[in-house]
């Protein structure tokens, strides 16, 4: 069994960066080198302003950087030195070609794998960290084996990452489980044990689960699909609540108290976002289709379709409430990130909503505590449209705080559940006083106490709640 003393992580993104920083933080006897082709990203990791925002990340990085944690673009040197290599590159949904819009683009995985095969002069344990379609490890193995010489041996492991953004450091320090899949061969099992020993520096032994490679790969897709399915289920119920006077929070609480169901991931919302849920489900749908399982594909696809429906339903509600037109009206959008405590905007519901508002010729005033203005422009621009940047600039203003965004607005729309938007943190009376009347407020995150806000004078719509609830 290899006693891992040097780790290389290819890909310094949302997954690779925090994961390997925590390994360095917990394993002072292991040298951890995180590499990326993107010089700007590496420079940021080496600076005072890290490229991603995660509570607790700075403490971990600043504690170990320059000691046993290094960030560099020298991919080859890190590969040469490592006993174990994490592959944490991006696997976006394919935009063109076979499986476009559904399948994962494995070009980056293949690129990184080929580099390892080319450069390595000693045996390595290669670990899939990125979320990948089931059986990707097989392709990686074929590439590595085809390029290895007699004395060099590669073992492939699957070690999917279950961290959620915004709580990444907490999740990494105290994971529910660590999953390591391996080929059931003597060297595969030995490599599995080597990686398990790395995690045993801080993760209790009974939380390290070992499986075969394919179970591990599929479990990651399955876990995300099951989590997203719960959100789509409660969101589907939120539509029924609005139509009947049931309260979605009360329904979620009543159901969640059943220990068989549990209370987590039953918060209705304007729709789930993030880099994983939609991508992984579409991946599962594609896999099912490829396996000639159309009913299975349709079943999972419905989770994504329900998510789209929820976003569109919310937009429709806003427009119809504002007397069927938002043309030339100022709509204040509070929150742009896909969830609180992150600056990540990938697949954020805010993007869909704001694009729809712009289509309706509204002026959108946006405030988010963590998202950079440049990111907002990038997300709202339409590829291939002439003057798209100018059009976006004309249609939106990016504001320095919530009060500025809401000033002169006809409606306020809460899209991200940042704590600072809660009723006890933001002065809603001040917001109301500075808005056009009637002043509308749409809460897409069940963040506010409706009675309190109505008392001020707002006309309020909250997802999954009916204005007339409790009156009949």
Nearest-Å Rg of the Cα atoms of the chain is 24
Q: How many residues belong to the site for ligand ADP (CB under 6 A)?
A: 22
Q: How far is the CB of 160 from ligand UDX (least distance, A)?
A: 8
144 binds, among ligand UDX, ligand ADP, none (CB under 5 to 8 A by kind): none
Residue from 33, 88, 269, 307 touching ligand UDX (CB under 6 A): that is: 269
Q: Site mask, ligand ADP, residues 93-112, x = CB under 6 A?
A: ---------------x--xx
Which pairs count as long-range contacts for 431-439, CB under 8 Å and 24+ apart, including other chains? 431/402, 431/403, 431/406, 432/456, 432/457, 432/458, 434/403, 434/406, 434/407, 434/408, 435/406, 435/407, 435/408, 435/409, 435/410, 436/330, 436/408, 436/409, 436/410, 439/409, 439/410, 439/411, 439/412
Q: Which one of 161, 165, 217, 417 is the catalytic residue?
A: 161
Return the percent helix, strand and coil in the chain, to nearest 5.
Answer: 45, 15, 40
SS3 36: coil
32 binds, among ligand ADP, ligand UDX, none (CB under 5 to 8 A by kind): none
Q: How far is the CB of 390 from ligand ADP (least distance, A)?
A: 28
Closer CB to ligand ADP, 147 or 197, in the complex: 147
Q: Which one of 8, 9, 27, 276 is the catalytic residue?
A: 276
- Per CB under 6 A, which region of 61-69, 195-203, 264-272, 325-333 contacts ligand UDX? 264-272
CA-based nearest residue to 182, from 165, 157, 159, 201: 157
41 binds, among ligand ADP, ligand UDX, none (CB under 5 to 8 A by kind): ligand ADP
Is 38 among the residues that bind ligand ADP (CB under 6 A)? yes
Is-catalytic flag, 276?
A: yes
Is-catalytic flag, 94?
A: no
- Check residue 323 and give left, alpha or beta (phi > 0: left; psi -120 to 50: alpha): left
- Which burial class, exposed, middle or buried, applies to 128 when counting CB atoms under 10 A from its CB (0-12, 13-18, 19+)? buried
Residue 206 neighbours by CB distance under 10 Å: 7
DSSP of 261-319, one letter per residue? T-STT----S---SSSHHHHHHHHHHHHHHTT-HHHHHHHHHHHHHHHHHHHHHHHHHH
Q: How far is the CB of 416 from ligand UDX (least distance, A)?
A: 8
Q: How far is the CB of 15 from ligand ADP (least distance, A)?
A: 3
Q: How far is CA 400 from CA 11, 371, 373, 393, 443, in A?
A: 32, 11, 10, 16, 21
Rounded CA gap, 234 and 260, in Å?
A: 16
Question: Do 399 and 371 contact (CB within 8 A), yes or no?
Answer: no
Residue from 93, 159, 232, 275 touching ligand ADP (CB under 6 A): that is: 275
Is-catalytic flag, 220?
A: yes
Question: Do 162 and 177 contact (CB within 8 A), yes or no?
Answer: yes
10 binds, among ligand UDX, ligand ADP, none (CB under 5 to 8 A by kind): ligand ADP
Is 137 among the residues that bind ligand ADP (CB under 6 A)? no
Residue with tokens 């959100």: 231
Is 155 among the residues that bind ligand UDX (CB under 6 A)? no
Q: Site mask, ligand UDX, residues 159-178, x = CB under 6 A?
A: --xxxxx-------------
75 binds, among ligand UDX, ligand ADP, none (CB under 5 to 8 A by kind): ligand ADP
Residue from 179, 248, 266, 426 touching ligand UDX (CB under 6 A): that is: 266
38 binds, among ligand ADP, ligand UDX, none (CB under 5 to 8 A by kind): ligand ADP
Is 169 among the residues that bind ligand ADP (CB under 6 A)? no
Is 339 among the residues that bind ligand UDX (CB under 6 A)? yes
Question: Do 211 and 178 contact (CB within 8 A), yes or no?
Answer: no
Q: How far is the CB of 83 from ligand ADP (least distance, A)?
A: 19
Strands 396-398 and 440-443: unpaired
Q: How far is the CB of 235 from ligand UDX (least distance, A)?
A: 8
Closer CB to ligand ADP, 347 or 356, in the complex: 347
35 binds, among ligand UDX, ligand ADP, none (CB under 5 to 8 A by kind): ligand ADP
164 binds, among ligand ADP, ligand UDX, none (CB under 5 to 8 A by kind): ligand UDX
Strands 154-158 and 178-182: antiparallel
8-state DSSP, 206: G
Q: How far is CA 468 from CA 250, 269, 461, in A?
A: 15, 20, 11
The residues that touch ligand UDX, with contacts defined as CB under 6 A, are 161-165, 224, 227, 231, 265-267, 269, 272-274, 276-277, 338-339
Catalytic residues: 161, 220, 276
Task: Please give the residue ranges that form the binding site for ligand ADP (CB under 6 A).
Answer: 10-16, 35-38, 41, 75, 88-90, 108, 111-112, 115, 130, 275
């Amino acid at each position: 069994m290899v006693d891992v003393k040097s780790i290389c992580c290819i890909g310094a993104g949302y997954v690779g960066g925090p994961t390997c920083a925590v390994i360095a933080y917990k394993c002072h006897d292991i040298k951890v080198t995180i590499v990326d082709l993107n010089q700007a990203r590496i420079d940021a990791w080496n600076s005072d302003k890290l490229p991603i925002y995660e509570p607790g990340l700075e403490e971990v990085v600043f504690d170990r950087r320059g000691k046993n944690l290094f960030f560099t673009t020298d991919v080859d040197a890190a590969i040469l030195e490592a006993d174990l290599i994490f592959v944490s590159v991006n696997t976006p949904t394919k935009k063109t070609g076979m499986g476009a819009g559904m399948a994962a683009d494995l070009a980056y995985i293949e690129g990184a794998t080929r580099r390892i095969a080319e450069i390595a002069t000693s045996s390595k344990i290669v670990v899939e960290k990125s979320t990948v379609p089931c059986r990707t490890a097989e392709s990686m193995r074929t590439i590595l084996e085809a390029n290895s010489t007699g004395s060099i041996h590669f073992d492939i492991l699957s070690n999917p990452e279950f961290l959620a953004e915004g709580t990444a450091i907490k999740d990494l320090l105290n994971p529910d489980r660590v999953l390591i899949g391996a080929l059931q061969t003597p060297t595969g099992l030995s490599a599995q044990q080597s990686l398990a020993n790395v995690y045993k520096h801080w993760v209790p032994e009974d939380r390290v689960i070992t499986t075969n490679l394919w179970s591990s790969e599929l479990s990651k897709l399955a876990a995300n699909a099951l989590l997203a399915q719960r959100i789509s289920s409660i969101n589907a119920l939120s539509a029924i609540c609005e139509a009947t006077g049931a309260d979605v929070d009360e329904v979620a609480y009543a159901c969640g108290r059943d220990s068989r169901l549990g209370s987590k991931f039953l918060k209705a919302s304007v729709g789930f976002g993030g880099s994983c849920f939609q991508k992984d489900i579409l991946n599962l749908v594609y896999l099912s289709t490829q396996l000639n399982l159309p009913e299975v594909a349709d079943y999972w696809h419905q989770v994504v379709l329900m998510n789209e429906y929820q976003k569109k339903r919310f937009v429709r509600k806003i427009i119809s409430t504002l007397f069927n037109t938002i043309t030339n009206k100022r709509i204040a959008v509070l929150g742009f990130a896909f969830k609180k405590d992150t600056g990540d905007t990938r697949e954020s519901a805010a993007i869909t909503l704001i694009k729809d508002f712009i289509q309706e010729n509204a002026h959108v005033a946006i405030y988010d505590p963590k998202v950079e203005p440049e990111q907002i422009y990038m997300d709202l621009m339409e590829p291939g449209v002439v003057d798209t940047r100018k059009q976006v600039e004309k249609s939106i203003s990016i504001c320095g705080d919530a009060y500025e965004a809401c000033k002169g607005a006809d409606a306020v729309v809460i899209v991200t559940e940042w704590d600072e938007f809660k009723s006890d943190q933001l002065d809603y009376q001040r917001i109301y006083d500075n808005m056009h009347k009637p002043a509308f407020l749409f809460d897409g995150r069940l963040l506010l106490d409706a009675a309190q806000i109505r008392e001020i004078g707002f006309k309020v719509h909250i997802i999954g709640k009916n204005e007339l609830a409790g009156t009949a």
